[in-house]
Amino acid sequence: MKKFTSITIALILLLLVTLTACSSKEDTLNYEGKTVIKIGYLPITHALALFEEKELLEASNDDVQIQLVKFNAWTDLTDALSAGKIDGASVLVELAMNIVNNGIDLKAIGLGHKDGNVVVVSNDIKSASDLKGKTFAIPSAQSSHNILLNDLLKQAGMTREDLKIIQLSPTEMPSSLVSHAIDGYCVAEPYGAQIIAKDLGHVLYESSDLWEDSACCAFVLHQSLIDSNKEAANTIISKYFEAGNLLDTKTSMAIAEKYLGQETKTLEQSLAWISYKNLELTQEEYNVLCDKVKAYGINENPPTYEKFVYSLD
C-alpha cells in the first residue's frame, strides 16, 4: 500500500510539472492576447536597433511584442539559439552562419549595424608592427573582430604567428588591457569606448579603415517561427528596419542609456563610430563577408546567400 501511494504521488507530481511547463510556454507565446517573440542579445551598442524595435512595438501596442533575453557571453547565446530556447537573436553574423552549417535553419533578417568596431591598444603601441610579440584579444574565432585582425595583419605585412591571439568575453577586455594582461583587442562596443573615454589606451584602427561597411552582427530568426506565424514574423521584420532608420544621434543615446547603463562619455564615443541606417544585408556585402571567412579559415563553406539571408521580396 505504501509503495502504491509513493508511485501515485510521484505520478501526480510529474503531471503537475508537465502541466505547469505547458502553461508557461503558452503564456510566453501568447501573453494577454499578444504574440511574444523571445530574442536573445548581449548588452552592446551593436544591438540598439533591437532595443529600439522593442520600444516601437510597445508604444504602438501591437499584437506582436518582443521579450528580450539577456546573455553575457556569445557561447551561452548561441547554445540557446541552437537549442530553440529563443526565437531569434542579435548575434555575431559568423556565429549565425556556423549555426546554419550545423543544420539549424536560421534566417538573417538584416545587419545589426554598419561599422562600429575599433582596434584598441595600450598607449605604448604606436603602429601595427608594435604588436609583434604582444597579446591581442578577440571575442570569438567566429567573428568580424577576427576578420578585422586578419585584415590589419595583412595590411601590415604580418601573420598571426607574429603575436599571441586569445579569446576573451567582451566585458573582460578593458580591465585586461589596463592590467597589461593583453596589449590590444577588437570587440563589440561599448567595450572599446570604455578605454578611450578614460584615456587608458587609444584607437589604432577604426573598422572602416580596414573594411568599409563591415558586417558584424545580424538579427536572425528561426525559420520555424517565420513558417508558423508569418504575420508576426513580418511585423518583427518590418519594425526592425524602421527602428534602425530611426536611430539618429539623440534617439541612439536615449536607447543606449536605457538599456546599457554605461557612462555618457563612453556611449557618446561608442556611437560616434556606428551607423544603423539601411540594415539590409545585400548579396554584395554577403559575398565580401564570405570571401573573408574563407580566406582567413573562419568558415570554409559558408551558407549560400539564399539559404542564410531572408528574402525581403
Amino acid letter, residue 62: D
Alpha carbon distances (Å) from 168 to 137, 139, 140, 182, 307? 6, 5, 8, 10, 31
Cell 519594425 found at = 239
Res. 30 pLDDT band, cuts 50 70 90? low
- Among 145, 175, 210, the domain-final residue is 210
Residue 191 lies in a domain: yes
Tell whether 151 and 103 lie within a shared domain.
no
Residue 184 lies in a domain: yes
Tell whether 48 and 197 lie within a shared domain.
no
Residue 26 lies in a domain: no
The whole-number pLDDT of residue 312 equals: 77
Tell whether 54 and 164 lie within a shared domain.
no
Nearest alpha carbon to residue 121 among 74, 187, 73: 187
Tell whether 130 and 201 lie within a shared domain.
yes
Residue 255 lies in a domain: yes
Tell whether 58 and 99 lie within a shared domain.
yes
Tell whether 224 and 181 lie within a shared domain.
no
The whole-number pLDDT of residue 23 equals: 33
pLDDT tens-digit series, residues 99-153: 999 999 999 999 999 999 999 999 999 999 999 999 999 999 999 999 999 999 9
Helix runs in 73-131, H state only: 74-82, 93-101
Residue 73 lies in a domain: yes
Nearest alpha carbon to residue 242 among 88, 108, 66, 52: 52
Alpha carbon distances (Å) from 55 to 91, 174, 246, 291? 20, 30, 11, 36
**Prior bond to 190 cis, omega within 30?**
yes
Tell whether 238 and 197 lie within a shared domain.
no
Tell whether 88 and 144 lie within a shared domain.
no
- Among 210, 229, 263, the domain-final residue is 210
Tell whether 102 and 149 lie within a shared domain.
no
pLDDT tens-digit series, residues 55-91: 999 999 889 999 999 999 999 999 999 999 999 999 9
Residue 79 lies in a domain: yes
- Alpha-carbon span 146 to 141, nearest angstrom: 6
The whole-number pLDDT of residue 13 equals: 40
Per the CB < 8 A criterion, the answer to whether 39 and 88 are in contact is yes
Tell whether 133 and 267 lie within a shared domain.
no
Burial of residue 1 (CB within 10 Å: 0-12, 13-18, 19+) is exposed
Q: Measure the CA angle with vertex 141, ends 135 and 77; round to 5°.
A: 120
- Alpha-carbon span 37 to 40, nearest angstrom: 10
Residue 260 lies in a domain: yes
Tell whether 135 and 161 lie within a shared domain.
yes
Burial of residue 196 (CB within 10 Å: 0-12, 13-18, 19+) is buried
- Alpha-carbon span 65 to 55, nearest angstrom: 9
Predicted TM-score of the model (pTM)? 0.87
- Alpha-carbon span 46 to 115, nearest angstrom: 9
Res. 25 pLDDT band, cuts 50 70 90? very low
All 3 cell numbers of residue 197?
573615454
Tell whether 71 and 95 lie within a shared domain.
yes
Nearest alpha carbon to residue 272 among 214, 184, 192, 152: 192
Domain that holds residue 136: 118-210
Residue 19 lies in a domain: no
pLDDT tens-digit series, residues 232-272: 999 999 999 999 999 999 999 999 999 999 999 999 999 99
Q: Which residues contact 209 (CB under 8 A, 6 or more apart)?
A: none
What domain count does the chain have? 2
Q: CATH number, domain at 131?
A: 3.40.190.10
Cell 584598441 found at = 120
- Among 210, 236, 252, the domain-final residue is 210
**Prior bond to 174 cis, omega within 30?**
no
